[in-house]
Amino acid sequence: MSQTRMVGWIIVITHSQFLIELDPGEDTAKVLVVTAKMGRGGGTELSINNGRSIGGGSSVTGTSRVFHNTSSVAFTALPTSNLTTHLPNPHPYPPKMRPHHVLLSLLPLSAAQLQPVPTFGPPIPSRAKMFVYAPPNLPPNPAILLGVHYCTGTAQGYYNGSPYKRLADEKKFVVVYPESPNEGGCWDVSSRATLKRDGGSDSHAIANMARWAVERYNGDKGRVFVIGESSGGMMASILAAAYPDLFSAVINYSGVAAGCFFTDSVAGWNGNCSGGRMNLTPEEWARWVLDAYPGYNGTRPRMQVYHGSADDVIAPANYNYSIAQWTTVFGYPGTPLEEKRDVPERRYTTQVFGEKLTGIWAEGVGHGVPVHGEEDMKFFGL
């Protein structure tokens, strides 16, 4: 643990705030090293390392938030005139300038990590789990991104294997990683409950995760996004259909149109859909979206659909099903207004159907079109 000198500045680093009271009779601030551990009541217990005082006599008061998985905490001094520059000062400061109170916030020595969220809404039948990654130094009203994993996936695996943690560190947004409760790790994209708003299944659970994150981090309600791959891409389409007022933009990688996988069972497999043997009209595809939230007439999220021409798990025809669904919902023509060859990379074609719908056809790519994290950020406006 590195030690830093406490110089009596106002320090604001993270969320949980503690008041350190300096003795007015002490002119020289001493080295401050604080240890934190979980208290029996769920709060955080603080102690001064080696029993050192901050001044001639001091007290540590206040605890409001649980500080998870923490063994030790250090503090860094920052001057109030420049909160972004570390300026530890080894010299005594003049008594007349010495503040009697210094406001501190806990800063864990280790980097921010993926954290479980045991409770994120009222009980529902789905047992989906929630994990969240919040990088340090979040701005006010951050964006919220939900990264929904594929079959066989987990929240931890998607956190480790996708680029969104790194991008969150760079661009300062919160990432929610849902985890499927179903055998095999697939999402329920096939039951009536999941295809209806607040129906109690996995889509409802993920919507509750988004609501929780917006409230917990005071997130920007106009910047709540979803990206999903394969089974997660299927879920992304359902979330766009059933919760259009909650999400502002959605990306579906190698998934299917909302309702395509319907089997009237939980986490069922629809072979006609996966095999590209569906015979629905554009209006019938759109009906799955409209019925997911009956009577809704508000704004719907922008949509982006990726699919590979060589996909042998979710047939390439599913690209056409998704495009037919959303062009009809948005009232766009079924043919693209613009095509961009070799965008975002060679052998990919980006098709623009309207302001709210973009399709990306990946020639020669099989199932699981690789995520394009930087391009996702552009689409989300991050």
Active site residues: 230
Contact between residue 84 and residue 11 where contact means Cβ atoms under 8 Å apart? no
Q: H helices of the chain, where?
A: 155-161, 164-171, 202-216, 231-242, 271-274, 282-292, 317-330, 373-380
**How far apart (Å, rounded) are the C-alpha atoms in residues 227 and 249?**
9
DSSP 27: -
Task: For the beta carbon of residue 356, count every other beta carbon within 10 angstroms.
Answer: 18
Residue 87, token pair as written in the block: 């300026």
Within 8 A by CB and 6+ apart from 47, the residues are: 34, 35
Paired with 178 in beta bridges are 130
- The CA-CA-CA angle for residues 46, 47, 49, to 5°, reads 135
Backbone angles phi, psi at 148, to 5 degrees: -105, 120
For CA atoms 114, 119, 121, 123, give the dihedral sign: positive
- Do β-strands 129-133 and 174-179 pair in parallel, antiparallel, or remain unpaired? antiparallel
DSSP 216: H
Nearest alpha carbon to residue 152 among 377, 374, 367: 367
- Do β-strands 338-341 and 348-354 pair in parallel, antiparallel, or remain unpaired? antiparallel
From first CA to last CA, the distance across the chain in angstroms is 35
**How far apart (Å, rounded) are the C-alpha atoms in residues 87 and 151?**
49
Contact between residue 256 and residue 314 where contact means Cβ atoms under 8 Å apart? yes
CA 179 from chain center: how many Å?
Answer: 13
Residue 79, token pair as written in the block: 């001057």
